[in-house]
């Protein structure tokens, strides 16, 4: 397989156990089959990782991966991913950042960085125009991610340097630990920050001034410009620029699917205190990932501080699910999570569970280090987030997430559990959007709203939300499409179609690309993730919703008394497996593996 355009063509490999660094050629055969990002990251991990390995074992790998569009002028292509085995779920994990790290990595001469081993003492990796150095980070250990990033940027001596860092949570291997990127962006879900901490790796800094080849520069410029005007800056996507995800707060509340009072209701009386109008009233400035015309990241003024605005998922989990109708408190929560390095969704849902247990009298103040944890208490929200992020006091239990709290306290899991494969449920109440119910249960990394944002077509779209009719095909279609988008890598906020993806990739690669070919590649990537999880022991038994969603109805609003039918859910899962070419137990069949050009 020959060289393709769009890649630097090199992978930086760092073994922290012995401090060895090396530059190796990108595997061109895999690049052609798996593109980049999610697909190529999955392929490297699948081939290189020993099955059943403890994710915090030094042999686990952290694969920071770009795609062929990263660092180019193509719109909405600024994201990049970290792929690893998740300590949270034991599944494969791909978690995405925004910002400039991906572009800088390509300019520095690498498509990916693969980190393995464990350093004896805290270190950070510095990559500067092709040179890889492992540097001491004792002086950064214990610091928040924001401080560490600012210090490293100063020490590296170039404002263009992009830095990924963990906070104290990652250092303590808290399993909901995130990785922060340049203060504004986070790879939140699945605990990649804990894997970084297990390697004694505080941060990675990268900067580059080089170029990488695009096969047909003129055609690529033309098509990028055309798509920016005709497909990106259009009514379908422009909401990301004008409002961003906070616009979803009111949409969810109207549809009765806004997480409220620890999954007790789908409507929140104070939704208008955390919605897009409130964000706009606090707006200070906007930021963009590398070269992105949508510039969807909002910074807001809170008191005398300029902070990153919470996204919808944080507003729905730390806001309505904890009944905290206070935008400034949720913004402060968001700041704490980013700095200490914890996932906002898992953290907030765990605190909401504690609030539920506190109000039920199961958890008392003396069990919470003296914190009164009623629903609506912003003090409890912020103090408990600090404790989780620092892994201190009661935070040591809470940092294991909702499942750990339920097990530790021995409370009724049927009544309280809200996770899939150990990962807490994001901001769309599945009882009011059965598309999301199926999407959460089949997501490769545990409950995830992004693998298949089916709510856009049921509760927010034209399909009936509380039926599984048409949902298996919808979820499969979205999962496959996103698999290819996240391999190129194109941002979620651009609703790009296969024809447009093919038109963008062809001049970059320098060979014709057919839309059907990309469709098949997306399906191949999704199945590769499934094969990884099957190898780890995951089957149908894990593609489940928590019993709460089958047994306990919601209260109030348009979804009053609504729950998911378990019988219909099981039928939908059967239909989904059939469409996927998997057996009744959720294992890809031999003919599916062959059709997709996969091996087991
Ligand atoms: S839409 Fe937002 S998240 Fe996506 S690439 Fe652009 S700035 Fe980044």
Which tokens go with 227?
A: 């798509």
Average pLDDT of the segment spanning 356-381 = 97
- The residue whose CB lies within 8 Å of the most ligand 1 atoms, and thus the one to mutate among 288, 290, 313, is 288
The pLDDT of residue 118: 98
- Compute, in angstroms, the gap from residue 435 CA to the centroid of ligand 1: 25
| Chain segment 570-589, per-residue pLDDT in tens | 999 999 999 999 999 999 99
pLDDT of 107 higher than 80: yes
Atom of ligand 1 lying closest to residue 287 CA: 7
pLDDT of 200 higher than 80: yes
Q: How far is the C-alpha of 501 from the C-alpha of 91, rounded, in Å?
A: 28
Angle among Cα 218, 510, 500 to the nearest 5 degrees reads: 75
Determine which residue's CA is closest to atom 4 belonging to ligand 1. 491
Q: How far is the C-alpha of 85 from the C-alpha of 198, rounded, in Å?
A: 13
- The residue whose CB lies within 8 Å of the most ligand 1 atoms, and thus the one to mutate among 493, 494, 495, 496, is 493
Q: How far is the C-alpha of 555 from the C-alpha of 290, rounded, in Å?
A: 44
Residue indicated by tokens 């998911």: 564
Residue 203: name the closest of 237, 249, 155, 248 by CA: 155
pLDDT of 1 higher than 70: no
pLDDT of 37 higher than 80: yes
Cα dihedral 13, 100, 142, 349, rounded to 10, equals: -110
* DSSP annotation of 465: T
- Compute, in angstroms, the gap from residue 358 CA to the centroid of ligand 1: 39
Determine which residue's CA is closest to atom 2 belonging to ligand 1. 296
pLDDT of 205 higher than 90: yes
- Compute, in angstroms, the gap from residue 571 CA to the centroid of ligand 1: 37
Helix (H) or strand (E) holding 287: strand 283-287
Residues flanking ligand 1, CB < 6 Å: 76, 78-79, 98, 240, 288-289, 292, 294-297, 491, 493
| Average pLDDT taken over every residue of the chain | 97
| Chain segment 217-260, per-residue pLDDT in tens | 999 999 999 999 999 999 888 999 999 999 999 999 999 999 99
The pLDDT of residue 135: 98
Atom of ligand 1 lying closest to residue 237 CA: 1
The pLDDT of residue 229: 95
Under 8 Å between Cβ of 227 and 75: yes
Residue 491: name the closest of 224, 237, 251 by CA: 237
Residue 502: which pLDDT band, with cuts at 50, 70 and 90? very high
pLDDT of 2 higher than 80: no
pLDDT of 509 higher than 80: yes
Residue 398: name the closest of 361, 454, 354, 431 by CA: 354
| Chain segment 408-437, per-residue pLDDT in tens | 999 998 999 999 999 999 999 999 999 999
Atom of ligand 1 lying closest to residue 493 CA: 1
Determine which residue's CA is closest to atom 8 belonging to ligand 1. 289
Residue 592: which pLDDT band, with cuts at 50, 70 and 90? very high
Plot region of 429 (φ>0 → left; ψ -120 to 50 → alpha; else → beta): beta
- Compute, in angstroms, the gap from residue 185 CA to the centroid of ligand 1: 10
Q: How far is the C-alpha of 34 from the C-alpha of 47, rounded, in Å?
A: 13
Angle among Cα 574, 577, 583 to the nearest 5 degrees reads: 95
| Chain segment 121-145, per-residue pLDDT in tens | 999 999 999 999 999 999 999 999 9
Average pLDDT of the segment spanning 48-76 = 98
- Compute, in angstroms, the gap from residue 145 CA to the centroid of ligand 1: 21
- Compute, in angstroms, the gap from residue 19 CA to the centroid of ligand 1: 35
Average pLDDT of the segment spanning 372-396 = 98
Residue 172: which pLDDT band, with cuts at 50, 70 and 90? very high
pLDDT of 114 higher than 80: yes
The pLDDT of residue 454: 97
Could you give all domains of the chain from N- to C-terminal order, each with its CATH number? 10-207 (3.60.9.10), 238-423 (1.10.569.10), 430-493+514-595 (1.10.599.10)
Residue 180: name the closest of 156, 206, 202 by CA: 202
The pLDDT of residue 236: 87
The pLDDT of residue 600: 63
Residues of the chain with pLDDT > 90, as a percent, come to 98
Atom of ligand 1 lying closest to residue 494 CA: 1
């Amino acid at each position: 397989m020959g060289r393709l355009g769009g890649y630097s063509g090199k992978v930086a490999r760092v073994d922290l156990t012995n401090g060895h660094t090396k530059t190796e050629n990108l595997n061109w055969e895999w690049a052609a089959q798996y593109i980049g990002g999610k697909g190529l990251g999955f392929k490297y991990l699948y081939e290189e990782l020993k099955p059943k390995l403890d994710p915090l074992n030094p042999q686990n790998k952290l694969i920071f991966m770009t795609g062929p569009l990263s660092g180019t002028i193509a719109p909405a292509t600024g994201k990049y991913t970290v792929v690893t085995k998740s300590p949270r779920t034991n599944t494969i994990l791909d978690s995405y950042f925004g910002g400039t790290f991906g572009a800088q990595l390509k300019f520095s001469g690498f498509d990916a960085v693969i980190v393995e081993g464990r350093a004896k003492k805290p270190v950070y990796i510095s990559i500067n125009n092709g040179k890889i150095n492992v540097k001491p980070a004792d002086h950064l250990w214990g610091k928040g991610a924001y401080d560490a990033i600012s210090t490293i940027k100063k020490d590296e001596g170039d404002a263009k340097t992009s830095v990924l860092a963990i906070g104290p949570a990652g250092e303590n291997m808290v399993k909901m630990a995130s990785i922060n990127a340049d203060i504004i962006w986070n790879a939140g879900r699945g605990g990649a920050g804990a894997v970084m901490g297990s390697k004694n790796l505080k941060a990675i800094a990268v900067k580059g001034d080089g170029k990488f080849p695009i096969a047909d520069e003129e055609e690529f410029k033309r098509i990028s410009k055309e798509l920016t005007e005709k497909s990106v800056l259009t009514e379908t996507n422009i909401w990301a620029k004008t409002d961003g995800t906070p616009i979803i707060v009111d949409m969810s509340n109207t549809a009765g699917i806004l997480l409220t009072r620890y999954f007790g209701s789908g409507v929140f009386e104070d939704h208008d205190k955390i919605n897009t109008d409130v964000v706009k009233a606090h707006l200070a400035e906007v930021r963009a990932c590398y070269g992105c015309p949508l510039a969807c990241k909002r910074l807001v003024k809170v008191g005398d501080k300029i902070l990153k605005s919470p996204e919808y998922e944080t507003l729905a989990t730390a806001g309505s699910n904890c009944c905290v109708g206070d935008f400034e408190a949720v913004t402060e929560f968001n700041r704490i999570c980013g700095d200490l390095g914890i996932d906002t969704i898992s953290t907030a849902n765990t605190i909401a569970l504690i609030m539920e247990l506190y109000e039920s009298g199961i958890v008392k103040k003396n069990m919470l280090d003296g914190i009164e944890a009623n629903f609506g208490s912003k003090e409890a929200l912020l103090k408990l987030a600090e404790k989780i992020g620092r892994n201190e006091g009661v935070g040591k239990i809470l940092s294991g997430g909702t499942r750990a709290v339920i097990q530790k306290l021995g409370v009724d899991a049927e009544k309280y559990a809200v996770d899939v494969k150990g990962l807490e449920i994001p901001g769309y109440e599945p009882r009011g959007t059965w598309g999301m119910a199926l999407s959460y249960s089949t997501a490769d990394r545990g409950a995830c709203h992004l693998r298949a944002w089916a709510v856009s077509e049921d509760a927010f779209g034209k399909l009936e939300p509380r039926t599984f009719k048409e949902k298996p095909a919808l979820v499969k279609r979205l999962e496959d499409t996103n698999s290819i988008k996240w391999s190129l890598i194109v941002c979620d906020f651009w609703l790009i179609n296969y024809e447009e993806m093919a038109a963008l990739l062809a001049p970059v690669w320098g060979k014709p690309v057919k839309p059907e070919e990309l469709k098949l590649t997306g399906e191949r990537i999704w199945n590769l993730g499934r094969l990884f999880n099957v190898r780890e022991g995951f089957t149908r038994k894990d593609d489940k919703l928590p019993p709460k969603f089958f047994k306990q109805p919601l209260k109030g609003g348009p979804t009053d008394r609504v729950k998911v039918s378990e019988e219909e859910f099981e039928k939908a899962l059967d239909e989904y497996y059939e469409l996927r070419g998997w057996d009744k137990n959720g294992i890809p069949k031999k003919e599916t593996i062959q059709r997709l050009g996969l091996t087991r």
